[in-house]
Every structure is written in structure tokens, then in C-alpha cells.
Copies of this chain bind each other. A is one copy, B any other.
Amino acid sequence: MRVFNFSAGPAALPEEVLRQAADEMLDWRGSGMSVMEMSHRGREFMSIHEEALTDLRELLQAPASHRCLFLQGGGLGENAIVPMNMLGKRDVADFVVTGSWSQKSLKEAGKYCKPHVAASGETADGFTRAPKRGEWQLSDDPAYVHLCTNETIHGVETFDIPDLGDIPLVADVSSHVLSRPLDVAKYGVMFGGAQKNIGIAGVTVVVVREDLLDRALSICPSAFEWRTVAENNSMFNTPPTYPIYIAGLVFKWLKRQGGLKEIEARNLEKSKLLYDTIDASSFYLNKVERESRSRMNVPFFLADESRNEDFLAGAKARGLMQLKGHKSVGGMRASIYNAVPLEGVKALVEYMKEFERTRA
């Protein structure tokens, strides 16, 4: 029996993707090999790689100005890889701090430059909002502005992406990329670990505007230098072939669902159902301001936190898994990525209502 999996990442995958991966495990389409066993330079894997890239570009509607790269190292790796690729001759980068992930990016950038906090979404209740462009205090000539457009731990999503003119916007989109259409042209760089909406841990997607590929510091490792990676079509070093294959299966699944417009409609429905349930009750609460609420990661608290363990045990008994909040904020968190079906969210809210009825 498959459970409903609300993990923040690595996270639920579409069951169709898992079935196809299992079916093709010993022999990929008559090749006599598993995808895991293929040379990355061979015809078979090259076709898998090209198709994944083409489908990703189509889903994102990535303009010709932007390159899509597959790297390794995840979001935390990119926290160093971004400044090493983006600083050029500048020594300041600006950060909009909206939660744990942008805090980590800020701290890591301090190894390479003087990071400047342009705005913070921290309030007396913790990180509960995405500061508006009017609140950002940019420095004079930053190399770039860093923004985490969906904070996985705090459940804060940024919906308004401002035009910063000549200043490149670098966005950590790890936990909401592919959940809705994004206007790629507005971003200098988008990056994300794959283990939420893209696929599995071990591959990182970087989308970078071509004219930004000449800014790398000499200390940037070649394997993480975007120009080198781009010039070698993400094959400067052996790429994480199987994670790329799984990402490709997820992209095909997304296209079968109708693409990002359709997925956005489903994600709206799922997140509305969950937030409405929380808001309709004083038994549960979410502290994020309404217009910054993430559609992917929904942290919530029981008003009486002494019931937390009881709540989690009951959830587990119903096959509602991985609902415990991040240790840094406590409470609960339901991550409802693309692969979590509406039925999963329905089962969760039914359980929440039942728990409230029987315990209140």
C-alpha cells in the first residue's frame, strides 16, 4: 500500500514515474542495459539527456537567452557556486532574506564577498512575509540580488518578481519550480535541487542567462563553472545520469498532465483546501501573511502543542506521512508538491477535522 507522503524533500513522486522506472530497470527499451549502466557518452543516454533538456525548456518556456544546465551539489552547493560564478569584479551581493534558505545563502556568500541584506521578512512571529520591492534597500552596485522565491521551512512564497534593470536577479526556486509558470526572462539565474518537483536528490538544475557566463572567479571549480558546464552541454564531468533520467520521466508526466498552467490550477485547489481548513479553525494556525503563503509548503501549528505527538501518530496510522515540521520551527508541515494528489490533501484535511472534533 502506498502512503500519502508530505515530505519537504526528497519528496513524493508520481506513481506512474516509479512504475516506468521499475519496468525499465533491467532493460531500457531493448538496449539490454539499465539506464544506470549506460555510458553518458553513448547514444542511448545522450537521447535521454537531450529529451529531458528539451522537455524542461518547454515546460519552463525558457527563452533562447537562457541556458539550462544539470549540475551536482544541490541548493546548498549553489550557495557557494552562485557567488563564485556571479561576482566577477564586484565584491557586494544583495540578499532579500525571507527564511532559513536565504539566510544560509547569505552566510555562505560571505566566504566570497560582502553580502548586504536588502530586506528581511522577519517579524515577531518569525519569517512570515515576503518584503515588497518598495521595501528593498539595494546597495550601490551589487553583483546580483539573491531571492529565495519559496522558503521550504517557513512556507513563504514570493509571487511578485520585480524588474531590477541591469542587476541580475538570482532566485533559489528549489521548492516551487515547475509548480506554476514562471517568467524565466525576469531572472538572471534560477537554481534548484531536484528533490521536490523535478525528481530525486543528486541533480541540480541551473537556468542562467547566457550573458552572465563570463563572471566566474578563477577559484571556481571547473565542474561547477557554469560556462564550462554549458560549453560541455552538462557533460564536463560525468553527469548524475539516473537522476537526470528520473527528472526526464517527471517532465513527461507533467506534460501529460497538461503542463504548468494545469498543474498550477491543481496546486491552487490543493493549497486553498488546506489553508481554508486551517483558517476555519482556532485549533490550527498558520502565521504567514496571506499573500505570501506558499502553495507548496504549508507549515501549521496546533494551538495546543502538547497534542503534537498524538496528532502525528494518528496521521501515521492513516498513511499520512512525514508531517512533522522542521526542527527549527516546530509544529507541522505539509509539503504538497506536484506529485501529491488532491486525494492526499483531502485525506489530510479530513483527518485534521476529525482530530479537532475528537480532541477539542
Chain A residues in the interface with B (C-beta under 8 A)? 1-3, 5, 7-13, 15, 18-19, 21-23, 25-27, 31-34, 36-40, 42, 45, 72-77, 79-81, 84, 108, 111-112, 193, 195, 200-203, 218-219, 221-224, 236-243, 246, 319, 321-322
- Residues from chain B with Cβ under 8 Å of A10 in the complex: 36-40, 45, 238, 241
From known contacts A223-B76, A240-B202, infer whether A13 and B32 are also in contact, taking CB-CB under 8 Å. Answer: no
- Residues from chain B with Cβ under 8 Å of A222 in the complex: 76, 79-80, 108, 111
- Residues from chain B with Cβ under 8 Å of A203 in the complex: 202
Contact present for A108 and B221 (CB under 8 Å): yes
Query: In the complex this chain forms, how many copies of it are found?
Result: 2
User: Please, how many angstroms separate the alpha-carbon atoms of A38 and B8 in the complex?
Assistant: 10
Smallest CB-CB separation from A31: which chain B residue?
B3
A-B contact pairs, 22 of them (CB 8 A): A2-B27, A5-B33, A7-B38, A10-B39, A10-B45, A18-B36, A22-B23, A22-B25, A22-B26, A32-B321, A33-B321, A42-B322, A72-B202, A74-B237, A75-B237, A76-B222, A76-B236, A77-B237, A80-B223, A112-B219, A201-B242, A202-B203
User: Please, how many angstroms separate the alpha-carbon atoms of A72 and B8 in the complex?
Assistant: 21
Contact present for A238 and B201 (CB under 8 Å): yes
> What is the predominant secondary structure among interface residues of chain A facing chain B?
loop
User: Please, how many angstroms separate the alpha-carbon atoms of A73 and B38 in the complex?
Assistant: 18
User: Please, how many angstroms separate the alpha-carbon atoms of A34 and B5 in the complex?
Assistant: 10
Smallest CB-CB separation from A32: which chain B residue?
B3
Choose from B15, B32, B37 the contact partner of A1 (Cβ within 8 Å).
B32
Contact present for B11 and A37 (CB under 8 Å): yes
- If A13-B34, A76-B237, A76-B238 are given as contacts, then 5 extra A-B residue pairs at C-beta distance below 8 Å, sorted by A number, are A2-B27, A19-B25, A80-B222, A81-B221, A243-B243
